[in-house]
Amino acid sequence: MSVGLDYLLNPRSVAIIGATAREGSVGGVITRNLLTKFRGRIYLVNPSYNELLGHRVYRSVLEIPDEVDLAVIVTPAPTVPKVMSECVAKGVRVAVIISGGFSEVGEDGTRLEREVKEVAQGRVRILGPNCIGIYNAFNGLDTFFIPQVRMERPRPGPIALISQSGAVAAAILDWAARRSIGVGLAVNYGNKLDISEVELLGALASNENVRVIVIYIEGLKYADEGRKLLEVMRQVTRIKPIVVYKAGRSKSSSRAVKSHTAALAGNYEIYRAMLRQAGAIEVNNLMDALEVAKALATQPLPRGNRVLVITDSGGAGVQAVDNVETVGLVVPELPQDLRNTLAKSLPPFASTANPIDLTGSATDAMYKFVLDTVLPTDHIDMVLILAQMQLPGMTPKLADYIIEVRRFGKPIVVYGISANEEARTFKARLEEGGVPTYDRLETAANALRALYEYAVIRGLARPH
């Protein structure tokens, strides 16, 4: 990781330039966020105050007596060049410019942006401008300026998010928090005057807390960025998976991209080919990106594309097969000798071909028997379990059985739409035990597809 990015993600000290206690303001939210959560040293800077929220306030970053690793700038755009010159003089390592009013608003803003970069002289690395910055659940660094009551923060976890859009990043983190998906790091880079997704990818590749990187990208700012992004993605995907949602696919949305962050959306088919060459896994929306990442972060990679489907509903089993095979995986019929073994201990009306339908008489013990019998064989590579907790024979204890069979080293995902208390307990136990759960069959199938796709990328499975 470059020195600048190390101080961006893991600073020892942070100066908030434009700190305020004003309720509802950007600076006010950031000030409170950092004072209450950040585990390093905090310095407040604002020439209009001597004290805020019980803390001393400095007139300038130059007055701070200690070293400053990271400056968070929340002042009007025209003041940023002067603030940046003071950061340079102070020896600040990296700055997050939250302020908008730069290249995204036109030529005047572009000139101002160039001025900030010239002042920084490469001595201060810059994230932004026009961004919401950093969320690090591990050290409490949180510059996302949306109050907690309007945007829940996700728990620490193995997923990292890089987003070109701040609002999109905030919305998806709130969504993840409400579904207890662990997102430990999130970065919004805005206009990427300096630090871009290319460098951020490299930094996250070496971060031991991160197992999967999710990227929301609208467009690249310069012509040679595509080549650089391809190169770094190829390197990173040898280490850990990258899941990408590329927005701005149509002509109309491409225009919207340019007005949003002054980026060039470009031809989507070119992006798609680039992502394929890089070994990145592409999805069609950000919710699927995080759901897929959840499986990639917790499950072993399969050796092939054969899926075992176990269900307590024949109709749901049929839908599961449709979804699984639509994404390019297969649901093979089990051999007769294995079916005979299953039939000896299952009710006579159960189907044993695959999908294995235990019907409405399903019990925890039946699921356990099927898993213990089929998973050790070489007939399947992955498992999709459909389990509805409304049935009288089903209990949350099934989660313990499913977690136990992780010992066979095959990926498992679980689908269920029940919303009763037992179903919530069942899903919570599975998630805590490292087994992802889904409430849409399409998403569960996409998670399995991503596992297989990444296994092919890593050379652990053959393409079919």
Domains and CATH numbers, the chain: 1-130 (3.40.50.720), 151-298 (3.40.50.261), 302-457 (3.40.50.261)
Arithmetic mean of pLDDT, 220-228 = 79
Indicate if the pLDDT at residue 259 is higher than 80.
no
Q: Tell me the pLDDT band of 236, cut-offs 50, 70 and 90.
A: very high
How large is the average pLDDT for residues 316-327? 97
Q: What is the pLDDT of residue 2?
A: 59
- How deeply is 202 buried, as exposed, middle or buried, from its count of CB atoms within 10 A (0-12, 13-18, 19+)? middle
Q: What is the mean pLDDT of residues 300-310?
A: 98
> Would the pTM of this model clear 0.75, i.e. be above it?
yes
What mean pLDDT, rounded, does the chain reach?
93
pLDDT for residue 266: 57
Burial 212-249 (b: 16+ CB within 10 A, else e): bbbbbbbbbeeeebeebbbebbeebbeebbbbbbbbbb
Distance CA 66, CA 56 (A): 14
Cβ distance 187 to 163 under 8 Å? Answer: yes
Q: Is the peptide bond before 355 cis (omega within 30 degrees of 0)?
A: yes
Q: Are 209 and 429 in contact (CB under 8 A)?
A: no
Contact 335, 343 (CB under 8 A): no
CB 205 within 8 A of CB 239: yes
